[in-house]
Amino acid sequence: MEFSQSFAAINRAEHRLKEFDCGKPGMNQFIQQFACKHSKLGLSRTMVLPVANLEGDKRLIAACFTLAIATVQGKSLPVKKSLPKYPTPVALLARLAVDLKYQNKRLGEKSLISALRHAARLCDEGLPAYGLILDVLDKDALSFYQRYDIFHQLSDDPMRLFAPMSVLRKI
């Protein structure tokens, strides 16, 4: 199977949401039931990597990521700069998943790079964010993110990671 060359915004009319299965029930439920609703409400934006489809029907989703905006206390960030005492805006990588049918094809890495570049682009286009945080789902996900040198533990929680926007712009 071939994949699209780029990620696109999730769309119920174009994507087969009910067939997405990454092996994590909570992630599946979000994609199938809430991703489109949250996008319409302006709460988050889910981007999907569709499987190339020559038939013209709705397309399967091979991988996806969801971005949102959040704030954190500057003192919790692993940075050497002195930040204001009020909450610091950051991008939030809320979800990243690959359908079981397409795992072990480096789509997790492709999805992560796309998500990080997308977050940096949004920041450069006017949505201020000092960096990106992510809440790691489980130990498997933690080992995935630890393969990349850009993430640092946020405060005392090993399952919450941070990457500065200055680093994301170099990806």
The pLDDT tens digits for 49-75 are 999 775 668 899 999 999 999 998 877
For residue 1, being part of any structural domain is answered with: no
For residue 37, being part of any structural domain is answered with: yes
Q: What confidence score (pLDDT) does residue 80 get?
A: 66
Q: Which residues constitute the domain of residue 72?
A: 8-168
**Structural domains of the chain, count:** 1
Confidence of residue 1 (pLDDT cuts 50, 70, 90): low
**Residue 156 pLDDT > 80:** no
Q: What confidence score (pLDDT) does residue 157 get?
A: 81
Cβ contact 9:31 at 8 Å = no
Could you write out the three-class secondary structure of 66-124? EEEEEEECHHHCCCCCCCCCCCEEEEEEEEEEECHHHCCCCHHHHHHHHHHHHHHHHHH
**CATH (domain of 102):** 3.40.630.30
How distant, in Å, are the alpha carbons of 33, 101, 122, 164 from that of 104?
26, 9, 29, 28
% of the chain surpassing 90 pLDDT: 71
- The SS3 call for residue 3 is strand
